[in-house]
């Protein structure tokens, strides 16, 4: 069964750091682009970052560039999001998602259940 | 950056009746390969989003054929031929042409 399981969320103070993880199973992880998408409380979906299967390419939304880093460990079938200098506006449920085809990003066809990040003093 | 705009914001529907959601992009999503890079997602209450339609009109695996996507360039439509109770939730369109990927604001579909 294809599955994504996020972890690492929690309560952090403004300016703090957090590292999210996503454990993948049931597919050839290293072949696929992977993404993080977030959803603030009561709000819509916002794409955060995307990384290529071989880690040679990645993209970020402007609001997190320079503060967040997407990475992966293909040997461990894991995706990560290192979040630094956190702000209250980063409070959200963070979803890990697989991009549908190995050759390109977009079309996210497998999603995890999400992990909640709350930034508050 | 590509901005996605959906309408309506809310859509009350009657089971068995058709429903339609519009999505407009600020730039063309038509790639030189002839495909429109536009996705539709559904987020049911309390659940993660799920992919319904990719490349403008292609149903994702397991999606019932009552869902269809159409349009090209900057104007797109998601249609449900006969709404069922399980179709309630928030529908999002998304630019999948190039980063930054961007979602529309969402359309909440609820049963009348």
State pLDDT tens for residues B11-65. 999 999 999 999 999 999 999 999 999 999 999 999 999 999 999 999 999 999 9
Which of A54, A7, A1 has its CA nearest to residue A25? A1
Res. B3: pLDDT tops 90: yes
pLDDT of residue B23: 98
Report the mean per-residue pLDDT for chain B: 97
Count CB neighbours of B42 within 10 A.
20
Angle B37-B42-B45 from CA coordinates, rounded to 5°: 160
CA distance B16 to chain A (A): 27
Tens digits of pLDDT across chain A (121 residues) = 999 999 999 999 999 999 999 999 999 999 999 999 999 999 999 999 999 999 999 999 999 999 999 999 999 999 999 999 999 999 999 999 999 988 888 899 999 999 999 999 9
3-state SS class at B53: strand
pLDDT of residue A110: 98
pLDDT of residue A39: 98
pLDDT of residue A105: 86
Which of A37, A50, A111 is closest, CB to CB, to B50? A111
Look at strands B89-95 and A18-25 and give their pairing.
unpaired
Q: Which residues of B touch A (CB under 8 A)?
A: 1, 37, 39, 41, 43, 48-51, 54-55, 60-61, 90, 92, 94, 96-97, 99-106
Dihedral over alpha carbons A97, B101, B71, B85 (to 10 degrees): 40
CA distance A105 to chain B (A): 7
CA distance B77 to chain A (A): 17
């Amino acid at each position: 069964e294809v599955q994504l399981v996020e972890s690492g969320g929690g309560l952090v103070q403004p300016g703090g750091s957090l590292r999210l993880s996503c454990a993948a199973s049931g597919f050839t992880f290293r072949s696929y682009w992977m993404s993080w998408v977030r959803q603030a409380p009561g709000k819509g979906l916002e794409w955060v970052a995307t990384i290529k299967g071989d880690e040679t390419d990645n993209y970020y939304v402007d609001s997190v560039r320079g503060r967040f880093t997407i990475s992966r460990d293909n040997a461990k079938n894991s995706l990560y999001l290192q979040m630094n200098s956190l702000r209250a506006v980063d409070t959200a449920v963070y979803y890990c998602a697989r991009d549908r085809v190995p050759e390109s990003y977009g079309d996210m066809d497998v999603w995890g259940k999400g992990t909640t990040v709350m930034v508050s003093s | 950056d590509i901005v996605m705009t959906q309408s309506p914001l809310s859509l009350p529907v009657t089971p068995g009746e058709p429903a339609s959601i519009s999505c407009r992009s600020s730039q063309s999503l038509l790639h030189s390969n002839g495909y429109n890079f536009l996705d539709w997602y559904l987020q049911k209450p309390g659940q993660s989003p799920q992919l319904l339609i990719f490349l403008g009109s292609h149903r994702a695996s397991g999606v019932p054929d009552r869902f269809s996507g159409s349009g090209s360039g900057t104007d797109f439509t998601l249609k449900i031929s006969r709404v069922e109770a399980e179709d309630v939730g928030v529908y999002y369109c998304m630019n999948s042409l190039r980063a930054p990927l961007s979602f529309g604001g969402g359309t909440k579909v609820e049963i009348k």
